[in-house]
Amino acid sequence: MADAEAQIPRVFIVRHGETEWAKIGKHTGKSDIELTPLGIRQVASTASQLVGPGKLLDPTKLIKIFVSPRKRALQTFETLLGQQHGEISGDDRITITEDIAEWDYVSCHHMFCPHLRATHLIIVLTVIYRSPQQVAEHLGRLVEQIKDLQRPFMRGEKAADVLIVAHGLILRVFVKRWLGYPVDFPLSMLMMPGSVGILTLNHSSEEPAFQIGMALPAA
C-alpha cells in the first residue's frame, strides 16, 4: 500500500443521490423511489473522482459491502461502482439488508417535516423502535460485525475496507453508534446527496474514530 495510513481498515459510508422528494424537502422513509437525473450525476461525479483502482475508495480493497434494498440506494451503488458493478454483482461480499434501509417516519411519511432534520431525530427513531436502547442495539450489531471483520487486519495484513450505501438518517445514526455514542447524543452532522464519509479505527488502540480530513492516494 502507498502509506501507513492506507493500511488502517476504513468504513466508507455513502448517501444516495438526490430524489424528487428530497429535492423539495419531503422525507422519503420507506417509500421506494428512484434517483433523479441530477442524483445519478451526483453519484457519478463522486465516483469519477474517488472510486476505482488506486483511488480513495478502491473496490479491490473491500472485504464487505452493505447496501440498503431501496431503489435509490441500489442505483447509487450501481452508479458508484460503474463498470466494476457488473464484475462484483454476484460477489458474496455484498449484503443487501433492511438493517440499513431508511426508517419509516409514520406520522410524517409523505409529508413535509423539516423539524425532523436534527433536533427531533430521536423522536423519529423511537416511533418505530420504541426506545433509544432498541435503536442502539439495532445498529450496534452491525458495528460489531464490521469490527469483527476488520480486527484481524489492523496491522495492514490485508486491505479490509467496508462500504455502506444507504440513507442520510440511518448513516448519521450509524456514525454515532460507531463512535460509541447513544442515538440521542447531540452530534450535528450534514451529509450531502451522493457524498462519501469515512470512519476508521485507531490502529494502535482499535478506538473508533472518524476522519475529519483526508488525503487522496499519491499518483
97 is in an annotated binding site: no
pTM of the model: 0.82
More confident residue, 127 or 175: 175
Task: Give all domains of the chain, ordered by start, each with its CATH number.
Answer: 11-210 (3.40.50.1240)
76 is in an annotated binding site: no
What does 98-151 look like in DSSP terms, one character per residue? Answer: GGGSPPP-GGGTTSB-GGGTTTTHHHHHHHHHSSHHHHHHHHHHHHHHHHHHHG
**Separation between Cα atoms, residue 59 and residue 165, nearest integer Å:** 13
Report whether 57 contacts 51 (CB < 8 A): yes
Averaged pLDDT, 144-159: 90
pLDDT per residue as tens digits for the range 187-216:
989 899 999 999 998 766 678 888 887 777
Degrees (nearest 5) of the Cα angle 119, 115, 29?
100
pLDDT over 60 (residue 84): yes
177 is in an annotated binding site: no
pLDDT per residue as tens digits for the range 4-36:
445 789 999 999 999 886 665 555 555 678 999
Strands 10-15 and 196-201: antiparallel
What does the block give as the cell for 131? 426506545
Report whether 100 contacts 134 (CB < 8 A): no
Place of cell 461525479: 45
